[in-house]
A and B are shown apart, each in its own frame.
Chain A
Amino acid sequence: MSAGDLAPPDCSHEGCITCGDEALPLTVRRIDAERGLALCDDEAGRAETVEIALVGEIAPGDTLLVHAGTAIAHIGPATGVAA
């Protein structure tokens, strides 16, 4: 096991989105309606697979508020949000 395996994750700057009451706005890129998942990315282009069962109908380009891999709110294509 390398030392890197044991290092704590680097989430000390922006907070840990999965632990705190924080959620991030992500943009929908591709939707897999059958599996209830969407491929989304953030401003920096980092991709994430997101559960979409809790938000209504969505389309590519929409913004979702995502927490721990699950979209908890549909913010819409035109609305900005500071999460």
Chain B
Amino acid sequence: MPVVKDRFTPPNVSRFSALRERLVSEWRQPGAFGQPLIREETFDRTGLIGLTVVWDEWEPRDDLERGTIITNAYSEVFGSDQKDRIAFAVGFTEPEAVESGVLPFEVMPLVRKSDPPEWFAGCRQAMLDLGASELWKKGYPRLRLPTLELAEQYVRELSARVPGSDDVWSISQAATAE
């Protein structure tokens, strides 16, 4: 029988140190809005931690690289002894996260023809500034979020950024992941 030898080396994450540093910074000083969106969950019975990072910057990276970057960033912030508590570390782009079912809420503007014309561009820009993804279709940003509370928080911020647009913003819950 032939002997097939494989060697597995960890992905070269030094190329992606900028992503790791950005994650570290986000963990140390979390922003109120935008990407990356970090979900850190503790499973009480085991004390293990689940890490999900939604970030369109992941797009060209494979899942191993994403997981390694997340794990390294986490241990840099919280200490290498905490690494063993990580049950899973997964990076999704926003469309992937929607597919996985972890971003069930969508915030979208419903601008009427009678609304000020500058709102069309204003709403779009405000969404992009708050981390909406254009990976579905360039020029058509979509803003998906994990909880209703966070979606409402985003609507308040979007309304503040486009003065007078309070009634324009709507929140919907996806009937199914898309």
Instruction: Answer yes or no: are A and B bound together in one complex.
Output: no
Residues of A whose CB lies within 8 Å of any CB of B are none
Residues of B whose CB lies within 8 Å of any CB of A are none
